[in-house]
Structure formats: structure tokens, C-alpha cells
Amino acid sequence: MKFFSIILLLTAITFSGFSQNKDAIVGRWVNPSGEAHVEIFKKNDKYYGKMVWLKNPRDEQGVAKTDAKNPEPGLKSRPLLGLEMLKDFVYDDGKWTDGKIYDPKSGKTYSCNITLKDNNQISIRGYMGISLIGRSETWKRVK
């Protein structure tokens, strides 16, 4: 019985060491190219992200860049700064799932999951259909 209690205690300590704070992704992140910073925030019980900084926020004429590739004509003129590109993520057992990511370079929206690699890196996985077919990027926390 004593052996069983020790195993149970060690198991509980191990699992508690791996538990994550569901708000751990909240903060400012930079994409791999360094072109944009995205602020991830919590609204009610879901997580969202918007562009809060761009390396080149203006085009060659000095005009603020817009969402020109958006398939909806009425949204093509909205500015990229402040654009909500991550939507509706829910925390589920160490991952943020069931969200959407919008790519302003293509005007396409993909299903997406986020995984915390460590306190300063997240893995963003965008995909269509099943998550096996998609692309992953590692974003770093802005210091």
C-alpha cells in the first residue's frame, strides 16, 4: 500500500509540473519574418490576436497598408494595423484549439491550433480540413 501511495504522489507531482496556465499565450508575439507583432488577448473565455505593429506599415506612396487581398470587397480598405487575425481559440488540455487564422497576404482564413513550446515561443499550426495538411510557424514573445 505504501508503494502505491508513493507512485500516486509522484504521478501527481509529475502532472502538476506540466500543467499550463491557460492565459500563458496572452501577450505580444513576433512572427518568424519579424514583419509583424501580434497581441494575443482573452475576451470572455476565448483567445484572439490582432496586429499591433508592422515593420513596414505604409506602402511606397506613404499610405497605410490595407487588407487589399480580402475576398470581401467591403473589407479591402480596412487597415492592417489593428486587424484581428486570430479568432475564437479555446484552451483545451495544454493547447489552444478550434480557432481561425487569417492571412492578409493571401486573403485566406485557415483552421488553427496554438501550442506553447516554452514561455517565449508558440507554435502556430494553420490548416485546411485536417491538421496533418497545413503549415506551422514558431512565433517568439516580444521582450
Which domains does the chain show, CATH number per domain?
22-141 (2.40.128.520)
pLDDT at 135 over 50: yes
What is the C-alpha to C-alpha distance for residues 117 and 22, in angstroms, rounded to an integer? Answer: 13
Q: Kindly report, residue by residue over 34-80, the tens digit of the pLDDT.
A: 999 999 999 999 999 999 999 999 999 999 999 999 999 999 999 99
pTM: 0.83
Question: 126-135, long-range: CB within 8 Å, 24+ apart, which pairs?
Answer: 126/101, 134/110
Q: What pLDDT, on the 0 to 100 scale, is given for residue 126?
A: 96
Q: Kindly report, residue by residue over 82-131, the tens digit of the pLDDT.
A: 999 999 999 999 999 999 999 999 999 999 999 999 999 999 999 998 77
The residues, ordered by sequence, that sit 6+ positions from 101 with a Cβ below 8 Å of its Cβ are 85, 86, 87, 109, 110, 112, 124, 126
- Look up residue 6 and give its DSSP letter: H
Count Cβ atoms below 10 Å from residue 78 Cβ, excluding itself. 15
